[in-house]
Amino acid sequence: MRIKNHPILSFDTEETIEFSYNGKKLRGVEGDTIASALHASGIKKLSESIHLKRPRGFYCAIGNCASCNMVVDGVPNVRTCITPLKPGMVVNNQVGKGKVYEE
């Protein structure tokens, strides 16, 4: 799903940044956000609605709408559309509102 040839832009397509998604190893490129790296791997469902558990993807890609919130390195409600991907990140689908403090 990565763009290889583009008339205006050139992109780095070498996937060198390893991270985990729901326990699976995935790779992204330098400059990716978490959401763009997941999308490039074909993963569109990022979260679930809180009550009806309906699948949700990103919507705004500017960190505004909360549709892309996930648990990243144990922290819930991370806006994955504006959070840069870093090596070794542990990304998981979020259940419900997410737990800020473990009881």
Partner 1 sequence: MIEKDGVAPLEMVMKEFPDDKEVLINPKAIIECYKEIPCNPCETSCPFDAIHVGEDINARPKIDFDKCTGCGICVYNCPGLAISVRQLQGDKAILKIPYEFVPRPEKGSLVNVVNRNGDVITEGSVKRVQEGKNQKQTCLLHVEIHRDFIYDAITIEVPRGS
Partner 2 sequence: MKNKEAVIIGAGPAGLKAAKQLLEAGAHVTIIDRNKKLGGQLVKQTHKFFGSEKQYASFRGIDILEILVQGLKPFEDRLEILNETSVVGLYKDKVVACVKHDNFFKIKAKSIIMATGASEKHLPFENNDLPGIYAAGAVQTLMNEYGVKPGDKVLMVGSGNIGLIVSYQLLQAGVDVVALVEAAPQISGYLVHASKIKRLGVDILMQTSIKRAIGKDQVEQVEIWELDEVWQGIPGTERVLGVDTVCISVGLAPLTELLMQIGADVEYIRELGGNVPRIDFRYETSIKGVYACGDVVGIEEASSAMVEGAMAGIHAAHDLGYTVEDESRKLKVLQEELKFLRSGPHAAKVRAGYTKLEVKT
For the segment 64-93, give every residue that binds partner 2 (CB under 8 A). 64-65, 67, 81-82, 84
Q: How far apart are CA 8 and CA 73, in angstroms?
A: 36
DSSP 88: T
Q: Candidates 5-13, 35-43, 45-53, 79-87: pick the segment binding partner 1 (CB under 8 A).
A: 5-13
Query: Among residues 14, 18, 53, 62, which is the contact residue for partner 2, using CB under 8 A?
Result: 62
Which tokens hold the place of 70?
């996930």
Q: How far apart are CA 97 and CA 78, in angstroms?
A: 11
Query: Among residues 1, 6, 25, 52, which is the contact residue for partner 1, using CB under 8 A?
Result: 6
Which residues of this chain interact with partner 1, rule CB under 8 A? 5-8
